[in-house]
């Protein structure tokens, strides 16, 4: 079970994996290992962070679509663009999407390493220069791309705009002006497909390991986030 454990650590309790109706729980160990070992679907390559359900209700593909987020505090609708990017272009695309946010930003890093599947912890750092942030993030490319229990959001409150690189390795941008971000996605070879589905819209499983837990702690220190 060494290979398999990384896909269930701190994400699903053991009993949840075997629940009736859970497609993972219906599999033999060999079937499960074979499924989790699939890295590509067509021309879309997964990172190590997440795998779709065995029944492939949603097949991972590249592309982006638009949505709307309802801000319950301001009672305003915020335009959203969501994207799935194949692994070989994923981190470069994320880094390019940072540029339109401006020269100084706030950062939120998210962890669910020590939490159940329904919980996570957000750690906030205000006012960091974009070149410094990008330099730090390049050092943690493996963590950000392949750990299914680490996510990051970068935001400019004065715009306001926000870019999320979430635990599922989706790229999500919130803001009234999305054209610059759409241009980055198009330059990365992505097509706008409003009907597309994302891996989050069906059963899926996350991956993590102890090395990523340590790397997350190091990233927190590099960003100047105090222990809580």
- Is the pLDDT reported for residue 115 higher than 50? yes
- Percent of the chain beyond pLDDT 90? 64
How far lies 182's CA from each of 67, 102, 178, 191, 206, in Å? 13, 16, 6, 10, 27
Tokens of 143: 């963590």
Q: How confident is the model at residue 3 (pLDDT cuts 50, 70, 90)?
A: very low
Instruction: Please give the pLDDT value at position 63.
Output: 98
Q: How confident is the model at residue 121 (pLDDT cuts 50, 70, 90)?
A: confident
More confident residue, 34 or 13: 34
Mean pLDDT of the chain: 86
Measured between its terminal Cα atoms, the distance across the chain in Å is 33
- Is the pLDDT reported for residue 170 higher than 60? yes
Q: Contact, 24 vs 32, CB < 8 A? A: yes
Question: Which residues are CB-contacts of 56 (< 8 A; sequence separation ≥ 6)?
Answer: none
| β-sheet bridge partners, residue 79 | 68
More confident residue, 135 or 25: 135
What is the distance between the alpha carbons of residues 86 and 92, in angstroms, rounded to a whole number?
A: 11
Weakest-pLDDT range from 45-54, 75-84, 108-117: 108-117
- Is the pLDDT reported for residue 64 higher than 90? yes
Is this prediction's pTM over 0.85?
yes
Question: Which residues are CB-contacts of 66 (< 8 A; sequence separation ≥ 6)?
Answer: 79, 80, 81, 82, 178, 192, 194
How far lies 23's CA from each of 3, 28, 57, in Å? 19, 11, 10
Q: Please classify residue 210 by burial: count the beta carbons closer than 10 Å to its beta carbon, then call 0-12 exposed, 13-18 middle and 19+ buried.
A: exposed
Q: Please classify residue 16 by burial: count the beta carbons closer than 10 Å to its beta carbon, then call 0-12 exposed, 13-18 middle and 19+ buried.
A: middle
Q: How confident is the model at residue 4 (pLDDT cuts 50, 70, 90)?
A: very low
Tokens of 174: 């919130």
| β-sheet bridge partners, residue 93 | none
What is the distance between the alpha carbons of residues 167 and 206, in angstroms, rounded to a whole number?
A: 8
Q: How confident is the model at residue 22 (pLDDT cuts 50, 70, 90)?
A: low
């Amino acid at each position: 079970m060494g290979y398999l454990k990384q896909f269930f650590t701190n994400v699903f309790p053991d009993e949840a994996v075997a629940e009736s109706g859970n497609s993972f729980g219906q599999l033999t160990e060999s079937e499960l290992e074979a499924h989790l070992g699939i890295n590509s679907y067509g021309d879309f390559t997964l990172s190590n962070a997440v795998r779709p359900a065995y029944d492939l209700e949603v097949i991972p593909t590249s592309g982006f679509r638009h949505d709307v987020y309802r801000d319950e505090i301001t009672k305003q609708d915020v335009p959203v663009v969501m994207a799935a990017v194949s692994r070989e272009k994923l981190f470069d695309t994320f880094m390019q999407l940072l540029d339109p946010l401006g020269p100084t930003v706030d950062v939120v890093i998210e962890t669910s390493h020590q939490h159940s599947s329904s919980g996570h912890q957000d750690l906030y750092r205000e006012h960091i220069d974009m070149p410094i942030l990008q330099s730090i993030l390049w050092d943690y490319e493996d963590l950000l791309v392949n750990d299914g229990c680490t996510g990051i959001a970068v935001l400019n409150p004065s715009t306001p705009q926000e870019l999320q690189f979430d635990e599922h390795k989706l790229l999500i941008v919130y803001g009234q002006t999305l054209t610059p971000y759409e241009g980055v996605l198009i330059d990365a070879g992505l097509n706008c497909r409003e009907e597309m589905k994302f891996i989050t819209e069906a059963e899926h499983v996350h991956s993590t390991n102890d090395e990523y837990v340590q790397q997350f702690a190091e990233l927190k220190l590099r960003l100047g986030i105090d222990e809580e």
